[in-house]
A and B are shown apart, each in its own frame.
Chain A
């Protein structure tokens, strides 16, 4: 599949973006682990010490929300975002290729649109010093910040996937093809 690969720039971009996605994946995993520990702490404080809990519910929820957004590029890189691959599975090589291009383009368009919208939302929270309406009164720009960060890297990751696909660095939908099909793709 080494038909017409452009020189270094694309590879460098893909490697750089995947490195960032991996780092964010570690961060998301750490946030989920932290969420579990905080829930255990909350249970201990509430049911063993019989004391009120103030920040734990919000903190755990924010951890999980942040993990979702910043972990999303890593999951996209790992092809973990579930899709319906019946049509691509049975499609011929050309149709499968264009379906993969469409799927990547949709992911990219969605990520770009939502990154912009969530950035505006975050800026509103920052400018107006929004705080949560719970007892903790958390500054909301902090949890909201995970959205534009995660979605921006998601857009970069989607672009990397699209480039890898268009330059034949990756198979459409990561599906293996037999030699004849691969020949047709060339």
Chain B
């Protein structure tokens, strides 16, 4: 069997395995073991345990449970509600101020948690009922929260960037910085679209009948200020070269837990267990996929499948932008069905040599890949955020939520196009703060 035929066989069986509903980590692990036995014999199995363990034996990975814990501590406290209320009190007089508050709160919450579903759930719980109460159309209220939630994986700290950084050995600090400007740009695009659509539908002022006093405005600050200070502190430590991402994440997690306990009086052990349980659940899931993906990557490499694919694409002498377009379509289709963590860990080792050979910046590509993953979060059939929002607003039909997300999907496509034309939007900040890197 030629490497190309082997590659096709692996691809088909992997797709079938994933679509069967088997847990991604165990499905990938099982496929890896099966193909190692089929093509290399039972003797090759001695590397499996070592490879699986080696996939996790990396201090950089420690940052994942730590950032997850940061998100779990904040997610299980009413910090999201306070953040939302504070922004609403300051911005409610602006036309469409509530939408700006919601999307702004999503962006800030994203900077605290790095998780899209957590972001969507925390802000959506307050934002959606409030927007509907003030007369915003259902599709705008739900669609904007679905889309705002996706910012969690683009605005640092982002688990997606950590996984991409580990899979491709790209600087995680540089990736985090590269996500800042595109994150702000995407937030801006979401806001512009939402303001436009509510204006077009004749929706005007919704705040004429009430006013927040200056006292109420300033009262909202003390509760959220410490969390914002942690964001700034973690970012300073990361980008100032003071500590590694794992160290910054560890201290950030501990501080977030302490602040959540002190500010929100979460003294009961059940509240602590909830934070630890959620952290364990998400971290173990991600880390297991990482270990299995490393084994999967080992199988692909040892069968020369990765190299064969990269070589075949290089031999096609395709226009690099056509190639990038095809990669984007591939990632989008994957994103419709497969969770982001699994896609990144499975495809990044394959795509990395291809995009490097085509002369693309891997940091910039990390941002493009992440926006593609964001689309998958609000696009059927998987569209995790859609189902989270559906749980918050059960009386809004799921089709209406889905239609509400479509304009934001288009905003994301637009962001990808803008980033292709102006890659500096992603690369400028890391170059300025961490020094330029030599690019092809």
User: What A residues does B338 contact at CB under 8 A?
Assistant: 84
Known: A40-B251, A82-B341, A84-B382. A113 touches B280 (CB 8 A): no
Q: Are B337 and A86 in contact (CB under 8 A)?
A: yes
Q: Which of A30-78 contact B (CB under 8 A)?
A: 30, 32-33, 35-37, 39-40, 42-43, 46-47, 57, 60-61, 64-65, 67-68, 71-72, 74-76, 78
Known: A60-B62, A113-B33. A67 touches B284 (CB 8 A): yes
User: What B residues does A106 contact at CB under 8 A?
Assistant: 17, 20, 22, 26-27, 30
- Closest residue on chain B to residue A68 by CB atoms: B287
Q: Are A61 and B23 in contact (CB under 8 A)?
A: no
Binding site for A on B (CB under 8 A): 17-27, 29-30, 33, 45-46, 48-50, 52-53, 56-59, 61-62, 65-66, 69, 242-243, 246-247, 249-251, 253-254, 257, 273, 276-277, 279-285, 287-289, 291, 337-339, 341-342, 381-382
Q: Are A107 and B22 in contact (CB under 8 A)?
A: yes
A103 CB to closest chain B CB (Å) equals 4
- Closest residue on chain A to residue B276 by CB atoms: A29
A114 to B341, CA, bound (A): 22
A and B contact pairs by CB, cutoff 8 A, 10 listed: A32-B279, A32-B283, A36-B66, A40-B254, A43-B251, A75-B284, A76-B23, A83-B18, A86-B19, A102-B21
A159 to B137, CA, bound (A): 48
Q: Are B246 and A39 in contact (CB under 8 A)?
A: yes
Q: Are B21 and A43 in contact (CB under 8 A)?
A: no
Q: Which 3 pairs across A and B sit closest by C-beta, in order of nearness?
A: A39-B250, A121-B49, A81-B23
- Closest residue on chain A to residue B242 by CB atoms: A47
Known: A84-B338, A147-B49. A42 touches B247 (CB 8 A): yes
Q: Are B285 and A75 in contact (CB under 8 A)?
A: yes
Q: Is A9 an interface residue (CB 8 A)?
A: no
Q: How many residues of A contact B (CB 8 A)?
A: 56
Q: Is A14 an interface residue (CB 8 A)?
A: no
Q: Is A117 an interface residue (CB 8 A)?
A: yes
- Closest residue on chain A to residue B342 by CB atoms: A82
Q: Are B23 and A32 in contact (CB under 8 A)?
A: no
Q: Are A65 and B285 in contact (CB under 8 A)?
A: no
Q: Are A81 and B19 in contact (CB under 8 A)?
A: no
Task: Kindly identify which residue among A36, A71, A103, A120 contacts B22, using a CB–CB cutoff of 8 Å.
Answer: A103
A16 CB to closest chain B CB (Å) equals 21
Residue among A28, A68, A86, A113 having the largest count of chain B Cβ atoms under 10 Å:
A68
Q: Are B69 and A36 in contact (CB under 8 A)?
A: yes
User: What B residues does A57 contact at CB under 8 A?
Assistant: 59
Known: A81-B25, A118-B49. A36 touches B284 (CB 8 A): no
Q: Is A144 an interface residue (CB 8 A)?
A: yes
Residue among A65, A72, A82, A103 having the largest count of chain B Cβ atoms under 10 Å:
A82
A43 to B237, CA, bound (A): 11
Q: Are B273 and A29 in contact (CB under 8 A)?
A: yes
Q: Are B30 and A110 in contact (CB under 8 A)?
A: yes
A83 to B251, CA, bound (A): 32
Task: Kindly identify which residue among A47, A61, A71 contacts B280, using a CB–CB cutoff of 8 Å.
Answer: A71
- Closest residue on chain A to residue B292 by CB atoms: A110
User: What A residues does B48 contact at CB under 8 A?
Assistant: 114, 117
User: What B residues does A102 contact at CB under 8 A?
Assistant: 20-22
A35 to B253, CA, bound (A): 11
B22 CB to closest chain A CB (Å) equals 4
Q: Are B53 and A65 in contact (CB under 8 A)?
A: yes
